[in-house]
Amino acid sequence: MSELTQSERDRRERIRHDFTPAWDAQRKIQLDAEDRFSKFILTVAAGSFGVSFAFINQIIPVPIADAKETIMLIIAWGFMGFTVLLGIIETLITYFVQDKLLDNIELNIKRGYEWKKYINTSKVGIMFPDRIIKGLTLLSFLSGISFLLYFVYRNIVY
């Protein structure tokens, strides 16, 4: 790599200076939002699973052995368990994605890219796996709740 001129070094330092507050603010907002979302889904999924597992005999008026469409309850529990598993996987992926994002931002700062070019070149592909896991987690949670509510409805309404 060729030696940089003083004006180029100054320009890159100005870019670094311009990047830093936006980068720090965006990182904090993103991490806070992802943390709240993940905690909410994990808490509600684990709570729903636990409550339905522990108190299903008190929720429906018939014994489980005599309940209609017990397979719906098993499917609901499967989705709830899968939601918790996805939440754990998503948390691990978030750490790796954040590391990759920070590395990419640092690389763009070192290269002297302007903010607009950074936005266009770096956000696609880095957050993709994380977003898919979050979407699957939400879908699994909603599916589990739906199957559970259907099971309860079928066994409360005669």
114: which DSSP letter? -
Q: Which amino acid, residue 87? A: G
Nearest to 128, CA basis, from 103, 93, 104:
93
Q: Is residue 46 part of a domain?
A: yes
- The tens-digit pLDDT sequence of the chain (158 residues) is 467 788 888 888 788 777 778 777 877 887 788 778 888 888 998 898 888 888 887 888 778 878 888 899 999 999 999 999 998 887 787 777 777 777 777 777 777 765 545 444 444 444 567 778 888 999 999 999 999 999 988 888 76
With beta carbons less than 8 A apart as the criterion, state whether 112 and 15 touch. Answer: yes
With beta carbons less than 8 A apart as the criterion, state whether 149 and 73 touch. Answer: no
| Structure-token pair, residue 43 | 């808490």
Q: Is residue 52 part of a domain?
A: yes
Q: Is residue 130 part of a domain?
A: yes
Q: Is residue 126 part of a domain?
A: yes
Q: Is residue 89 part of a domain?
A: yes
Q: Is residue 1 part of a domain?
A: no
Residue 90 is predicted with a pLDDT of: 79
Q: Which residue has the tokens 């950074």?
A: 118
For residue 116, give the H/E element and its range.
helix 115-122
Q: Is residue 102 part of a domain?
A: yes
Domain total for the chain? 1
Residue 121 to residue 14: CA distance in whole angstroms: 20
Q: Is residue 128 part of a domain?
A: yes
* Enclosing domain of residue 65: 6-156
